[in-house]
Amino acid sequence: MRAYIDKAATSIDWLEGLGVEFVEPAALFPGRQLYLAHRQARLRSAGAWAASAMIKILTQKAKGLGVRFFLQTPVRRILKEGGRVTGIVAEDASGESVREHAKAVIICTGGFGNNPEMIKKFTGYDWGTDLYSFRVPGVDGDGLRMAWRSELPPLI
């Protein structure tokens, strides 16, 4: 969390350098004076507001760097050799096992904001009573549990 906060301003500068246009900080909850996010401007080529324009730019940048995307292919296991991450085992939409070797694996599953039990266990707050957040389907803590099972060392 500290890295996320400490790098927020430079991340916005980096995104602007890629072509993402931010127009203003916007309130996350209507009627409250809590400004936590920047609203991205409409991209001429994307034709939409908010994250869709930014995701399009980031996807193009990643593809240009040789990143391959596997959609609808959830990772089931992280591969390790000698304490070093070497790849993943996933399952594609047809149920086939996919094994990919890599120099690095990035777990970006969004945390556990849609899992009231994990919220209570790890924060002490009750969702809907003490805490209100966006419950995004699929952000259930699966990626974190997979990383913990793999005994991955923290990066920060």
Q: Which of 79, 55, 80, 81 is nearest to 69 (CA)?
A: 55
Q: Which of 42, 12, 7, 10 is nearest to 25 (CA)?
A: 12
The per-residue pLDDT for 155 is: 52
With bands split at pLDDT 50, 70 and 90, how would you rate the model's confidence at 82?
Answer: confident
Please, which residues bridge with residue 6 across strands? none
* Whole-angstrom distance, CA of residue 152 vs CA of residue 139: 20
Helix %, strand %, coil % of the chain (to 5): 30, 20, 50
Does residue 60 surpass a pLDDT of 90? yes
- Reduce the DSSP state of residue 27 to 3 states and report it: strand
- Reduce the DSSP state of residue 92 to 3 states and report it: coil
Task: Note the pLDDT tens digit of each residue in 117-136.
Answer: 998 898 888 877 877 666 77
Q: How far is C-alpha 37 from the chain's CA centre?
A: 15
Handedness of CA 23, 29, 34, 37 (dihedral sign): negative
Is pTM, for the whole model, over 0.85?
no
